[in-house]
Amino acid sequence: MSASSGPARRAYGTGALQIVGRSWIGAWYGPDGRRVRRKVGDVRTEGRADGLTKAQAERALRRMRELDSPPAAPDAERVTMEQAGREFCQRLELKGRRKSHRLTVASDLRNHIAPFFAGKTLDRLRPTDIERYVSAKRRTLAIKTVRNHVNTMHSIFDLGLRNGWCASNPVKLADRPTLKKTETRIQFLDQPDLEQLLAASYPDDAFGRIEPTLYLTAAMTGLRQGELLGLRWRDVDFDARKVRVVSPYVRGEFGDPKSAGSGRSVPMAERVAVALRELRSQSVYPRDRDLVFCHPDTGKPLDRSKLVRRFKQAIDRAGVHRITFHELRHTFGTRMAAAGTPMRTLQHWMGHADSKTTQIYAHYQPSDQEADAVDRAFV
C-alpha cells in the first residue's frame, strides 16, 4: 500500500479517515460539537510491517470515537425541542416574566424552532444543526429575530443540561448571525404635519372622539403605545404638570415598565393638559383609577390592532406622509432634541435604558456654535 495523501471513503456519521504523509488521521465531532482530529496510527507500507492496514485503522478510529463519545445511559431521558420548550415556557411563568415575553417565546417555539427540529432530541443536536437553523431562517426573518430565537435555544439547552436531557449546549459553539450597524433614517411628523393630522376629520363614533387627544398626547409626551393604553387618570398630575408612567398595558396584561429607566415622569405641556381635561370632562370613566384612553363605552383598554388601523386611516385622511403610531414617539424625540434638551434628560423622559438609543436624536440638536466655529476657521 502506498502512503499517498487522500480521504478514505467511509459511512456518513462515522467520522473521516485520511492518510497524511505516513500517518492515518481520524476526524470526527465530539459530544460538545467540536471537531476532533487525531492520529490513529502509522500507515503500513511496503517493507514496513509495524503500521496499520486500512481495516485496522478503521477499528482503531471506531475505538477512539467510542471513548470520546460514550453512549448515553440506558435510563437517560430523551426529550425533543418541543417538549423542552414547553417546560422552558412553564419556568418563565414561574419566574414571573412578563406575559408579552412569554407569549413571544411560545410563538417562536410553536411556529419556528420546534417544527425545524421535529423528531430530534436535545442530546442529538450539534452546533452544525443550530447553524443550519440560522441559515434557513435568515432567508425569511430579520436578523434580530433570528438572534432572539438562538438566545431562546441557548436557554433551553441550559435547562436540558440541568435536567440531564443533553450533555452539552451546542449553541455555545455555533456561529450566530451578526447585526450590522447601519444608519437608518427615522420617520416622524414635523410641526405642520402634526397640526394637519390633529385638524383632520374623524369618524363620529366612540373611538373617533378620543383619537385627536390620543395622538396629541403621544406626540407631545413620547409615551410608548402600551404606556398610553395603561395610563390612568391618577397618573396625570395636572398640578405638577407631569404624566407618570406606572403600569403599561401590553398583550392583554398590565405590567411593570419595560425597563428600570422606563418607570418615569414626563413633562405635560399646557396644550396636552387642556386636551386631557376636556377628555376627562366628557368621559363616563373619569375616576382616578379609570383609564385615560379606554374604550368610551366599556372602560376597558383599547384594542391595539384597532388603534393601529385607525391611525393609518387618520394619516391617510390628513394627507401627510405615512408613519407608524410608534413614530409619534420619534416626533417627540426629534422635537425635544431640536429644542436643545440635553440627551441625558431626553433619555429619562423617553425611558431608554441605554443612552445609545437616545443618540439617534442627537443629529437634531441645535449646532449654531459648531457652524460658527467652522465659519471662523475659514475666515
pLDDT tens readout for residues 124-158: 999 999 999 999 999 999 898 999 999 999 999 99
The whole-number pLDDT of residue 328 equals 96
The answer, yes or no, to whether residue 365 has pLDDT greater than 70, is yes
Residue 1 has pLDDT above 70, yes or no: no
Mean pLDDT of all residues belonging to the chain: 86
Buried b vs exposed e over 10-20: b needs ≥16 C-beta within 10 Å? Answer: eeeeebebbbe
**Site of grid cell 417538549:** 83
Weakest-pLDDT range from 26-30, 194-198, 212-216, 326-330: 26-30
What is the structure's pLDDT at 75? Answer: 46
Q: Which candidate, 241, 196, 250, 195, places its Cα nearest to that of 221?
A: 241
- Predicted local confidence at residue 116, as pLDDT: 96
Percentage of the chain lying above the pLDDT 70 cut? 87
In contact, 148 and 109? CB cutoff 8 Å:
no
- CA torsion through residues 257, 263, 267, 273, sign: positive
Res. 185: pLDDT tops 80: no
**pLDDT at position 74:** 44
